């Protein structure tokens, strides 16, 4: 599998990601997404059948204008204020390993959503090594520009179970954050 780097390829993959989620009987719900710099009043896509919500857009407050997509997900039916369980934020162009999300293409031409294994939690980052030892997901090696990287599979966009795979990923990201929260600072750094 290779990580997409061409802006048009990434843009098409992002559109497909949004389309697949919207096809899953997503209902728009007005809410406010809580985040470290405040909150964003907006509508999110709630998929009642699997009880997750999704927001697709760009980072609020122009934190990285024109650099990445902001795809955020949470659990349960949205109320007046929702918390983010995880973000899958691919860069808009090129290879950029700072955003945690990316799109990959398999040797058979299937588009995949992948994650680099770095999550934000409790005003900080969960170290990748902590994720590597505590996240119950499938890690794979991918051609990542000029190097090979190990990443987490979220799901194959052409698979009829993609939305369920996405849900499983969001639930696991939420669980990982709770595990991290329950650890002492030394346990967090030693994975």
Could you report the per-residue pLDDT of 82-133, keeping only the tens digit for each?
999 999 999 999 999 888 899 999 999 999 999 999 998 876 789 889 999 9
Least Cα distance to 50 among 156, 164, 154, 157 occurs for 164
When pLDDT is averaged across residues 4-32 and rounded to a whole number, the result is: 95
The sheet that has 70-75: what strands, in order across it? 81-83, 26-35, 38-47, 52-57, 70-75, 86-87
Average pLDDT, the chain: 91
When pLDDT is averaged across residues 45-67 and rounded to a whole number, the result is: 83
* Interatomic CA distance for residues 186 and 180, integer angstroms: 11
DSSP lists the bridge partners of residue 3 as 104
pLDDT tens, residue by residue, 147-166: 999 999 999 999 999 999 99
pLDDT at residue 4, as a whole number = 98
SS3 150: strand
Least Cα distance to 55 among 69, 76, 36 occurs for 69
Between CA 107 and CA 152, with CA 93 as vertex, the angle to 5 degrees is 50
Strands (E), 58-122: 70-75, 81-83, 86-87, 101-105, 111-115, 119-121
Where does the pLDDT of residue 67 fall: very low under 50, low under 70, confident under 90, or very high at 90 and above?
Answer: confident
pLDDT at residue 44, as a whole number = 95
DSSP class of residue 110 equals -
For the question of whether the overall pTM of this predicted structure is more than 0.85, the answer is: yes
SS3 98: coil
Residue 40 CB neighbour total at 10 angstroms:
18
When mean pLDDT is compared across 16-20, 29-33, 77-81, 123-127, the lowest value belongs to 123-127
Count the alpha carbons within 13 Å of 114 in the hemisphere toward its beta carbon. 28
Where does the pLDDT of residue 66 fall: very low under 50, low under 70, confident under 90, or very high at 90 and above?
Answer: low
pLDDT at residue 152, as a whole number = 97
pLDDT at residue 16, as a whole number = 97
Where does the pLDDT of residue 40 fall: very low under 50, low under 70, confident under 90, or very high at 90 and above?
Answer: confident
Q: Helices in the chain by DSSP H: which ranges? A: 7-23, 128-134, 162-181, 185-189
* Interatomic CA distance for residues 136 and 191, integer angstroms: 14
Where does the pLDDT of residue 38 fall: very low under 50, low under 70, confident under 90, or very high at 90 and above?
Answer: confident
């Amino acid at each position: 599998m290779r990580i997409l780097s061409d802006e048009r390829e990434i843009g098409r993959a992002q559109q497909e990601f949004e389309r697949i989620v919207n096809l899953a009987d997503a209902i728009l719900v007005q809410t406010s997404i809580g985040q470290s710099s405040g909150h964003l009043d907006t509508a999110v896509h709630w998929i009642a059948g699997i009880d997750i919500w999704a927001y697709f857009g760009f980072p609020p407050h122009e934190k990285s204008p024109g650099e990445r997509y902001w795809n955020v997900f949470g659990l349960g039916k949205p109320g007046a204020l929702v918390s983010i369980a995880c973000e899958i934020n691919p860069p808009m162009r090129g290879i950029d390993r700072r955003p945690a999300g990316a799109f990959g293409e398999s040797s058979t031409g299937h588009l995949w959503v992948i994650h680099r294994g770095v999550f934000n939690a409790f005003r900080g980052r969960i170290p990748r090594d902590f994720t590597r030892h505590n996240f119950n997901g499938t890690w794979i090696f991918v051609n990542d520009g000029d190097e090979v990287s190990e990443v987490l599979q979220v799901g194959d966009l052409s698979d009829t179970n993609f939305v369920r795979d996405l849900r499983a990923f969001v639930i696991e990201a939420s669980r990982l954050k709770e595990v991290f929260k329950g650890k002492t600072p030394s346990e967090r750094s030693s994975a």
